[in-house]
Each structure stands twice: as C-alpha cells, then as structure tokens.
Amino acid sequence: MSMHITAKPGEIAERILLPGDPLRAKYIAETYFEEPECVSELRGAYCFTGKYKGERVSVLGTGMGIPSVLIYTTELCTEYGCERLIRTGTAGGYDYSLKLGDIVLSQATCTTSALNDHIFKGHFAPIADFSLLRSAYDIALEKNMRVFVGNTICNDHLYTDERGYDPRVWADYGVIAAEMEAAALYTVAARYRKKALTIMTVVVDAAAELGSREDMKDESLQISTDERQNGLDDMIILGLETLIS
C-alpha cells in the first residue's frame, strides 16, 4: 500500500486534479465539489473526493518539485487506479505575449532535471495526452479564456546562479513558460499508460522571469500569494471540465 497517502482503496476517484499547494486542494474541494470528503491528509497533503456536476472526482495537493510529484503520481497510478491526472499549477511566462492570469496548456515539457537520465540511453521527451489537451483547449475557447498551448520547461531550481541557467535561451527556442512538476507527471503517466495534462496560470510575467533579480521583486509583475492559494478559478474550472469531458 501507499506510504504517503492514507486513503483506503476506492476512496480516490479515477479522475484527479493535482495542484501543488495542499491548501489550494482544500479550496477546490470546498468550493467546487459536491459532498467533499477528506480521504487523506498525511504530511499535510490534503486529498479530497467528491462530485463535480454529478461526476466523481478527487483532488490532491502534491507539494512542489519533481521528486514530490513523482512519489504521489506513482502511488496514485499504481495503488489507487487513477486514469486521468491533471496538474493545476502556476507558471512563469517566457513568452512576452503572455499576461498575468493567462492559462498555459503544456503540450510537452523540456527539463533541467536528470530524473530520466538513469532510465534511457537517449533523452526522453515527456508529453501531454492529446485527447486531454484538445479537450482543454476547446473548453477554454468556449469559455472565452485566454489560453496558450506550447512547449514548457520544468526546472529543478527556482533560484539559479545568473552565470548558469539562462531562461532567455529557452525562450529563443519557443519555450513559453516555466514550472517545476510537469516532467514528473508526464513521465509517470507514460510509464503506466495513463492520461495526463498540465494546466497552469501565469503568475509571474516574462519581464520578471527573463529579467534580473530586482525585476522578480516587482509586485506589479506577479500575482499575490493569496490569489495563488485561493483564486485561479478559471484554471480550476478548466481542469474540472476537462476531467469529466
């Protein structure tokens, strides 16, 4: 049985949202679920199961970074039979056309992580499930959401030495946004033949993400902490609608 999720067999739905912030998982369940039930809270990683528009769904807060997501998604796939996994997270924009609050659908993800280097002799390319990606895009357009689809970058480091990693290089090659979990989600989904998608809200815009450390401190270029935890409703609704589509 799972070492990190205390839900009993059958208590987690086959369709699940995966925000990084456990308190966002709680917000999603309390705001959007019918009859939400907390089925696991070990290590503060809240997991709720309920119904959305009559369909059974779950939400679990995975924490930040690739190792944490690897653990939770592997156990969800192997121990709880999850079939559709949608990450609802936040991103820094690398494309100057992106604005704060815009939604990004990660079609594929580059990564600075070595998570797959010990498995493959070459370089594995983690990608989204096309059916979920297409559904999410169509739903977003129907709801008049500002949505962008493209290649993203999954980083191990949030704060980097300016002499090393340069986000402008990735941006030059068409990478539109950065986050820290999608490569893990897509890799696990590929291994266990599950459907996965990463949906993100831009919370830091390109001017800050591609600029200096002083730019990163400019509050006008970021969405507030409270909004990240308890808002981002367009993304949440899009994730739920895609789960049940």
Report the catalytic residues: 215
Q: Extract the tokens encoding 30.
A: 């309390």
Residue 202 identity (one-letter amino acid): V
Distance CA(32)–CA(202), nearest Å, equals 22
88 burial via Cβ count (<10 Å: 0-12, 13-18, 19+): buried
Rounded Cα–Cα distance for residues 43 and 235 (Å): 25
113, two tokens: 């992580």
147-154 and 177-179 strand pairing: parallel
Tell me the C-alpha distance between 58 and 7, whole Å.
11
Three-state helix/strand/coil letters over 197-237: EEEEEEEECHHHHCCCHHHHCCHHHECCHHHHHHCCHHHHH
From the list 225, 203, 215, the residue with the least C-alpha distance to 89 is 203
The closest alpha carbon to 188, from 89, 47, 63, 82, belongs to 82
Nearest Cα residue to 65 out of 112, 120, 26, 27: 112
